[in-house]
Amino acid sequence: MNRVNQIAIDKIRHWLDEENKSIQWLAKEIGISKSLMGHILTGERQFLPERMSQVAKVMGISVEELLSKESEEEKAYTLSLRGKADSRAAKRHLNNMLFAIEDSLRIEEMNSAKD
């Protein structure tokens, strides 16, 4: 099995664990047998590009993300807030902060696309 397939398989297994989903569920979602999905995830059967695309779609990511090692190592941003946002001003500040975060992520995405 090649390294790229192993990266994808590891991500899929991790995703299944995180989402509390089974191989059988994933197989049903992409329209193949549980046995075939199991063989793909053990490396006994070839992971065809068409299947990779179907699995990536179910996972809500691109095929490039499924195959890249970088996204596996990235950690999600976590934001913890305390207290209540029960005033209009507090809600407005939170919306502004959310906009700034989303804007920053879009800029980061555009910059990485240029590289």
Asked if residue 7 and residue 44 are part of one domain, the reply reads yes
Is pTM beyond 0.75? Reply is: no
Predicted confidence at residue 111, as pLDDT, reads: 87
Task: Provide DSSP, 75-107.
Answer: --------S---SHHHHHHHHHHHHHHHHHHHH
Confidence of residue 72 (pLDDT cuts 50, 70, 90): very low
Residue 45 DSSP class? S
Mean pLDDT of the chain: 86
Domain count, the chain: 2
Asked if residue 58 and residue 106 are part of one domain, the reply reads no
Q: What is the pLDDT of residues 3-53, one digit of tens each?
A: 778 889 999 999 999 999 999 999 999 999 999 999 999 989 989 999 999
Predicted confidence at residue 73, as pLDDT, reads: 47
Give the integer Cα–Cα distance in Å for 30 and 51. Answer: 8
Find the domain containing 113 and state its range.
Answer: 83-115
